[in-house]
Amino acid sequence: MQKLRFFFLLVLLPNLLLAQQRTKIILQGSSQAKVDTKTNITYVKNPIFRQDNAILTCDSAVFYTERNFFEAYKNVHINQGDTVNIFSDFLDYDGNAKLAHLNSNVRMVDPTSVLTTNVLDYNMNTRIGTYTDGGKIVNKEGITLTSKKGWYFAFSKDAFFRYNVVVVTPQSVIKSDTLRYNTLSNWTYFYGPTNIKGKDDNLYTENGLYNTKTENAYFDKHNLYTNGSRSLKGDSLYYYGKKGYAKAVRNIVYIDTSDKTVMRGQLGEYYKGDERVLVTKNAYVAIGTDDSVMVGNKKIPDTLWLGADSLEAQKSFVKNIKLLNKPIIEKDNEIGAEDEKAKEEKEKEKAAAKKEMANAKLLNKAVVSNESTKKLSRKERKEAEQKAKDTKNTSPPKLVADSILLTKAKLRLDSIKQDSLLNLQKQQALIKTKDSLKTAQKVADSLKKIAVSGKKPAIADPKAKAVVANKANPVGKGGKDSVAVFNPADTVTARVIKAYHNVRVYKSNMQAIADSLYYTSADSVLRWYKNPILWSDGSQQTGDTINVFFKNKKTHSFQVLQNAFIVNLETDTTKFNQVKGKKITGFFQNGELRDMYVDGNAESMYYNKDKNGNYDNLNQTVSGRIKFRFADKELSEVTIIKKNEGTMFPIDKMPKEPLLTGFIWKPELRPRSKADVIKGRPKPKATPKTVPGDKSKVGDKTKGVDPSGVRPILPAKKPAASTNPKEAEQKPTLPSKPLEMVPVKTDTGKVVLPKKG
């Protein structure tokens, strides 16, 4: 309200001095006049009054000379400065205050707009018109404004509206509580709750401005833009309607309810044409899943949090997206690709074939059983005998008869199949005919409109649109390209999310970092590129590319492609199980990693335990494929599937922590909560450099906690120095030469690791 008071003050101040000057109303002429000398009242017909630069006329009037006041009736017209014209049925005019009170069919006309109302108070000095019982303004562009109360400023061409304000433009409908509109500039100013409803979108604000001609807008209080299932809000919102572009600044939130996507940041841009949004400055997105996580004693849906320097989300045609098939385990532990459509069709074909065979057996059995109880007719017997002669068949007549019966059964079965196929074809033809009739009717209506108006009408139905296009440009005239082919699959869209630079992901059973990421709801696959690292429980995966697959909104599997390397930290130790290969595939069950396959020059190093759960030796293998099984988040079983070579190091003779070439262990980079995704992990404090393979580099021994936040690390206890010289002499020393390799027996190719305890 403070802004409104200031606005009124600026408008009224230049005219306050003029309001002090009083002038007399002059009766310039009339067709008939009658004066009452006692009261000094003049009754006139068709009078012409004049005051300053205003001319006032009507059919009849009562003029009070001493009061400088008159009452006007029928066809009232006020003309002021050749720019403002006001019409009504009745008028009371006070010449001292220069106030006109107009009633019934009031119209106020200036070069830019027309104001209509039933009751209007107009100040001739300030040129301000006021109505309190409903009014309407229509400008020269055809924009209509209605409200319960209104003030029109003829000098500045501003109109101020209160209560039930509605603005109708060719592009939108604006509903507000308090609004100001300038008929010259077409700018609309909002001072209360306001909705701008477009053809397929809506803008809400409680303070801002909007241009009804250019469709540009700026909002700065409780702003919200919605388009279908999508919405965008921020502290400040800029909108350019004709460009279909919106920009949000500070505390922005982008939501798509269709795929449960929530994107946040401090700067956002929305492009209406391709339904694309770009978020920067602390950008992050929440993607809903059907995985569950325990919070206290209650299960709640597990959300995937994704953060990056820049996030981009948009709708894209599925035909333009390269989809990935989920990996599956085939027979003999082979890894294949899941083609769901082909799989469904194959299953349907198998079921149909099985059903068909069962029906055929039942039918053959029924026919043979029925026919065998009957005697052969004379004609059938002759046919059988003739067939036997022609084929020189020496078999008994009974076998010939049986062959005839079987032939009849097969003929009947073929007849049933043909009838079923014919019925199916008839049903499909009937459906196509109905669709064709509907399309033909739409085409006929459209062609009729074209013939009458000469203009092409908008056609909503794509099939009808294609047919009309063919009619307008048939084959032979426009060439092959003139034939429009409609494929419904081409119109299917899916959500695509792209993340650039400093990508961070947190989910209760999975965390990751990378330089860039790509995700689409069409195949539900997260793709990490450029130095990606993925953590799951106590395992870390690295490679050139990492793909994580979701099925039914649950974590299904992952694949590490090229230079794949996985490190698994043994519980309560600093011992690393290591695996490397060209490709690593892992499968989840109930949110936990269960099976993992390593393919292509598979190398592994893993620790074995004895029956008591103590570490016994370190096994190193090289093969074409290795399978690992996990139970209770620990490595429980290793299976060598293809040809392999293996060695084993006794645990008590290992000189140092063995590492495979390409070993990487970065627990300090692991996102530990959604806060690390939203704000980013704090920069680590400078630590002294350590030699790779040195146990002292793993974890913070002073705190006894693994920086990954997964498992505690037990500080190594150094034995007290012995004071007995004999004991010191008996202490074993490490050999200067490398340890000899002990061959591992791999007859079955399977090594089972005993569970702890």
Residues 42, 27 contacting (CB under 8 angstroms)? yes
Question: What torsion do the CA atoms of 684, 685, 688, 693 make, to the nearest 10 degrees?
Answer: -20
> What would the two tokens of residue 19 be?
């309001």
Residues 382, 389 contacting (CB under 8 angstroms)? no
Question: Which strand (E) or helix (H) includes residue 629?
Answer: strand 615-631
Tell me what pLDDT residue 166 has. Answer: 93
Averaged pLDDT score across all residues of the chain: 75
Residues 398-420: what's their mean pLDDT? Answer: 54
Residues 688-702: what's their mean pLDDT? Answer: 44
Question: Which strand (E) or helix (H) includes residue 14?
Answer: helix 2-16
Alpha carbon distance 181, 430 (integer Å): 59
Tell me what pLDDT residue 746 has. Answer: 42
Nearest to 741 by CA among 609, 646, 655, 639: 646
Cβ density class 517-554: b for 16+ within 10 Å, e for less: bbbbbbbbbbbbeeebbbbbbbbbbbbebbbbbbeebe
Residues 182, 157 contacting (CB under 8 angstroms)? yes
pLDDT in tens, 583-598: 889 898 887 888 888 8
What single-letter amino acid sits at 117?
A: T
Looking at the predicted structure, is the pLDDT value of residue 195 above 60? yes
Tell me what pLDDT residue 706 has. Answer: 36
Identify the weakest region by mean pLDDT among 256-260, 264-268, 470-474, 704-708. Answer: 704-708
Alpha carbon distance 698, 713 (integer Å): 9
Alpha carbon distance 50, 93 (integer Å): 12
Band of residue 286 on the pLDDT scale cut at 50, 70, 90 = confident
- Residues constituting the chain: 757
Work out the angle between the directed axes of helices 462-472 and 397-453 (0-180°, nearest 10). Answer: 70
Alpha carbon distance 192, 180 (integer Å): 11
Cα 743 to Cα 541, 619, 656, 735: the distances in Å are 29, 10, 20, 20
Tell me what pLDDT residue 707 has. Answer: 35
Tell me what pLDDT residue 422 has. Answer: 59
Work out the angle between the directed axes of helices 378-390 and 397-453 (0-180°, nearest 10). Answer: 100
Tell me what pLDDT residue 565 has. Answer: 92
- What is 422-489 written as a DSSP string? HHHHHHHHHHHHHHHHHHHHHHHHHHHHHHHHSSPPP---HHHHHHHHHHHS-TTTS-GGG-----GG
Residues 40-63: what's their mean pLDDT? Answer: 92
CA 119 to chain centre: 51
Nearest to 159 by CA among 91, 112, 193: 112
Tell me what pLDDT residue 272 has. Answer: 85
With 0-12 / 13-18 / 19 or more C-beta atoms within 10 angstroms meaning exposed / middle / buried, residue 560 is buried
pLDDT in tens, 306-321: 999 999 988 888 888 8
Q: Give the 3-state secondary structure of residue 344.
A: helix
pLDDT in tens, 604-622: 888 888 888 788 888 888 8
Q: Please state the φ and ψ torsions of residue 333, each to the nearest 5 degrees.
A: 60, 30
Tell me what pLDDT residue 340 has. Answer: 53
Tell me what pLDDT residue 720 has. Answer: 44
pLDDT in tens, 431-490: 555 555 555 555 556 555 555 555 545 555 554 555 445 544 444 444 444 444 555 556
Nearest to 601 by CA among 621, 619, 581: 581
Alpha carbon distance 26, 605 (integer Å): 112
Q: Give the 3-state secondary structure of residue 242.
A: coil
Alpha carbon distance 529, 4 (integer Å): 55
Tell me what pLDDT residue 357 has. Answer: 67
> What would the two tokens of residue 265 be?
């940041």
Residues 664, 581 contacting (CB under 8 angstroms)? no
Nearest to 241 by CA among 188, 204, 203, 278: 203
Tell me what pLDDT residue 378 has. Answer: 60
Question: Which strand (E) or helix (H) includes residue 403?
Answer: helix 397-453
Residues near 424 by beta carbon (within 8 Å), at least 6 away in sequence: none
Q: How far apart are the first and last CA of the chain?
A: 75
Residues 654-669: what's their mean pLDDT? Answer: 84
The single residue listed with the structure tokens 């690791």 is: 753
What single-letter amino acid sits at 111?
A: P
Tell me what pLDDT residue 573 has. Answer: 75
Strand partners, 650: 617
Nearest to 529 by CA among 539, 519, 540: 519
Looking at the predicted structure, is the pLDDT value of residue 715 above 50? no
> What would the two tokens of residue 75 be?
């066809």
Does the pTM surpass 0.75? The reply is no
Alpha carbon distance 460, 477 (integer Å): 26
Looking at the predicted structure, is the pLDDT value of residue 699 above 50? no
Alpha carbon distance 481, 412 (integer Å): 49
Band of residue 337 on the pLDDT scale cut at 50, 70, 90 = low
Alpha carbon distance 97, 82 (integer Å): 21
pLDDT: which is higher, 21 or 164: 164
Looking at the predicted structure, is the pLDDT value of residue 691 above 50? no
Residues near 472 by beta carbon (within 8 Å), at least 6 away in sequence: 450
Nearest to 432 by CA among 39, 424, 650, 32: 424
Tell me what pLDDT residue 504 has. Answer: 92
Band of residue 104 on the pLDDT scale cut at 50, 70, 90 = very high
Alpha carbon distance 660, 335 (integer Å): 25
Helices (H), strands (E): how many in the chain? Answer: 7, 44
Residues 608, 619 contacting (CB under 8 angstroms)? yes
Residues 753, 638 contacting (CB under 8 angstroms)? yes
- The secondary structure of residue 18, as a DSSP letter, is G
Residues 388, 395 contacting (CB under 8 angstroms)? yes
Residues 565-579: what's their mean pLDDT? Answer: 83
Looking at the predicted structure, is the pLDDT value of residue 45 above 80? yes
Looking at the predicted structure, is the pLDDT value of residue 3 above 60? no
Tell me what pLDDT residue 721 has. Answer: 45
pLDDT: which is higher, 171 or 2: 171
Residues 224, 199 contacting (CB under 8 angstroms)? no
Nearest to 549 by CA among 494, 495, 501, 510: 510
Work out the angle between the directed axes of helices 340-372 and 397-453 (0-180°, nearest 10). Answer: 140
> What would the two tokens of residue 82 be?
């050749």
Looking at the predicted structure, is the pLDDT value of residue 716 above 70? no
Residue 290: count of CB within 10 angstroms of its CB = 12
Looking at the predicted structure, is the pLDDT value of residue 634 above 60? yes
Q: Please state the φ and ψ torsions of residue 330, each to the nearest 5 degrees.
A: -95, -175
Residues 665-687: what's their mean pLDDT? Answer: 79
pLDDT in tens, 129-180: 999 989 999 988 888 999 999 998 888 888 899 999 999 988 889 999 899 9
Tell me what pLDDT residue 532 has. Answer: 92
- The secondary structure of residue 333, as a DSSP letter, is G
Tell me what pLDDT residue 729 has. Answer: 38
Tell me what pLDDT residue 734 has. Answer: 31
Tell me what pLDDT residue 307 has. Answer: 92
Nearest to 87 by CA among 145, 25, 129, 45: 129
Looking at the predicted structure, is the pLDDT value of residue 50 above 60? yes
Q: Are strands 194-197 and 510-520 parallel, antiparallel or unpaired?
A: unpaired
What single-letter amino acid sits at 716?
A: A
Residue 414: count of CB within 10 angstroms of its CB = 10
What single-letter amino acid sits at 129?
A: G
Q: Are strands 223-227 and 230-234 parallel, antiparallel or unpaired?
A: antiparallel
Band of residue 708 on the pLDDT scale cut at 50, 70, 90 = very low
